[in-house]
């Protein structure tokens, strides 16, 4: 029987799921995901993760537990660096160790370490190790790797056309099929933050759907081509160290300088170390653009629906009022 590989629907699942799913499926594995976050998953994570961990890490623990009885292997990659310049937050670097030491009876982990600074072949080599964990031959891994890239490129193209991760992922569809949303003549907000906060409707308390229901068009970090982000001049002496934080900051600068949004919302997790800096830099950037209203939404495991809804509605009303007609 084909081995099953579990992929937790949390953290960088929202960026790399098409690659991971295609890679393991093409190697003949049965790919099992933990599904959307719900209260049970959150409670499981809160119970097992360190009390001072950020809520995304707690959620990851919950998703892992939901998968543990179902699968032969768990895919828990150690993502270090994918762009030669910045690294992922230390929580990502320690993820396989945290999972292994917390859940001693967990299925074997496929815990490849990915750091492209180790050389040209670092990425294929890491996936070669993942394939070897499943007993796959070299040619099969090479084929799965190429098909995974193809799926990932298709996904990125759809994101850059304006779809959101939940709409562009294989097997999912948006209200307009795979067509980009039409934002002409609408109030448009940039909603910036880490993908596992912004695109997890449970922890963001349905932020994006709420905005869309109120007639607000949404642009997220994933909709902006990376070449535009990396071309963005930074008003800093050096870049930020952490990859997602660096991208969020660049996305804010890009949206502000290109005047593409009428408001900006930053979604951040309570207790996030990197965001303590990113948030401050965003505030500084917004001071140079006082015409763009700015809202910070901090989420944690106690975030309530009523409080979140009130803040979002008040923000939309505030932006909309002077621009009658939207
Ligand atoms: S970047 Fe922040 S929210 Fe994300 S894992 Fe690290 S500490 Fe948690």
Q: How far is 171 from 176, CA to CA, in rounded Å?
A: 14
Q: Indicate which residue's Cα is closest to atom 7 of ligand 1.
A: 272
User: Tens digits of per-residue pLDDT, 298-326?
Assistant: 998 887 888 889 999 999 999 987 655 55
What mean pLDDT value characterizes the chain?
A: 92
Of 15, 54, 273, best ligand 1 pocket probe by most atoms within 8 Å of the beta carbon = 54
pTM of the predicted model as reported, rounded to 2 decimal places: 0.92
Q: Which of 20, 68, 62 is nearest to 37 (CA)?
A: 62
CB-based contact 304:311 (threshold 8 Å): no
**What confidence category does residue 290 fall into, taking pLDDT thresholds of 50, 70 and 90?**
very high
Q: With a cut of 80, say whether residue 135 has pLDDT above it.
A: yes
- Bridge partners (DSSP) of residue 73 are 5
Q: Give the domain 182-320 fold.
A: Rossmann fold (3.40.50)
Q: How far is 14 from 18, CA to CA, in rounded Å?
A: 9
Q: With a cut of 80, say whether residue 171 has pLDDT above it.
A: no
* Per-residue confidence (pLDDT) for residue 105, from 0 to 100: 87
Of 11, 15, 56, best ligand 1 pocket probe by most atoms within 8 Å of the beta carbon = 56
CB-based contact 181:162 (threshold 8 Å): yes
Distance from residue 229's CA to the centre of ligand 1 (Å): 21
Compute the CA torsion angle 233, 238, 239, 241 (nearest 10 deg). 180
Q: With a cut of 70, say whether residue 71 has pLDDT above it.
A: yes
CATH architecture assignment, domain 4-159 = 3-Layer(aba) Sandwich (3.40)
Distance from residue 326's CA to the centre of ligand 1 (Å): 35
| Sequential DSSP letters for 189-237 | EEEEE-HHHHT-TTTTTTHHHHHHHTTEEEEEGGGS-HHHHHHSPPSSS
Q: With a cut of 80, say whether residue 139 has pLDDT above it.
A: yes
Mean pLDDT of 122-128: 96
- Bridge partners (DSSP) of residue 298 are 268
Q: How far is 314 from 322, CA to CA, in rounded Å?
A: 13
* Per-residue confidence (pLDDT) for residue 169, from 0 to 100: 78
What are the structural domain ranges in the chain? 4-159, 182-320
Q: How far is 188 from 261, CA to CA, in rounded Å?
A: 5
User: Tens digits of per-residue pLDDT, 179-188?
Assistant: 666 666 689 9
Report the greatest alpha carbon distance in the chain.
63
Q: How far is 26 from 125, CA to CA, in rounded Å?
A: 17
User: Tens digits of per-residue pLDDT, 72-86?
Assistant: 999 999 999 999 999
User: Tens digits of per-residue pLDDT, 173-228?
Assistant: 555 555 666 666 689 999 999 999 999 999 999 999 999 999 999 999 999 999 99
Same fold: 4-159 with 182-320: yes
């Amino acid at each position: 029987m084909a081995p099953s590989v579990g992929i937790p629907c949390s953290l960088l699942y929202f960026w790399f799921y098409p690659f991971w799913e295609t890679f393991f499926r093409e190697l003949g594995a049965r790919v099992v995901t933990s599904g959307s976050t719900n209260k049970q998953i959150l409670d499981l994570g809160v119970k097992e993760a360190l009390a001072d961990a950020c809520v995304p890490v707690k959620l990851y623990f919950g998703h892992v537990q939901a998968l543990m009885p179902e699968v032969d292997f768990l895919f828990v990659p150690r993502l270090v660096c994918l762009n030669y310049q910045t690294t992922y937050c230390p929580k990502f670097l320690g993820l396989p160790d945290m999972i292994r030491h917390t859940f001693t009876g967990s299925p074997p982990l496929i815990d490849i370490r990915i750091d492209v600074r180790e050389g040209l072949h670092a990425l294929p080599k890491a996936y070669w190790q993942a394939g070897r964990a499943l007993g796959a031959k070299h040619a099969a891994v090479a084929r799965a790797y190429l098909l995974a890239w193809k799926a990932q490129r298709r996904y990125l193209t759809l994101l850059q056309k304006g779809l959101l991760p939940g709409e562009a992922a294989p097997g999912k569809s948006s209200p307009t099929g795979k067509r980009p949303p039409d934002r002409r003549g609408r109030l448009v907000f940039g909603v910036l933050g880490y993908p596992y906060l912004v695109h997890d409707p449970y922890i963001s308390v349905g932020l994006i759907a709420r905005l869309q229901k109120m007639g607000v068009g949404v642009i997220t970090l994933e909709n902006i081509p990376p070449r535009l982000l990396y071309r963005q001049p930074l008003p800093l002496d050096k870049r930020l160290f952490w990859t997602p934080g660096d991208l969020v900051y660049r996305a804010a600068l890009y949206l502000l300088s290109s005047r593409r949004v009428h408001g900006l919302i930053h979604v951040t997790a309570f207790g996030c170390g990197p965001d303590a800096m990113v948030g401050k830099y965003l505030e500084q950037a917004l001071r140079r653009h006082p015409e763009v209203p700015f809202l910070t939404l901090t989420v944690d495991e106690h975030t309530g629906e009523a409080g979140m809804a009130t803040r979002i509605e008040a923000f939309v009303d505030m932006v909309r009022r002077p621009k009658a007609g939207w």
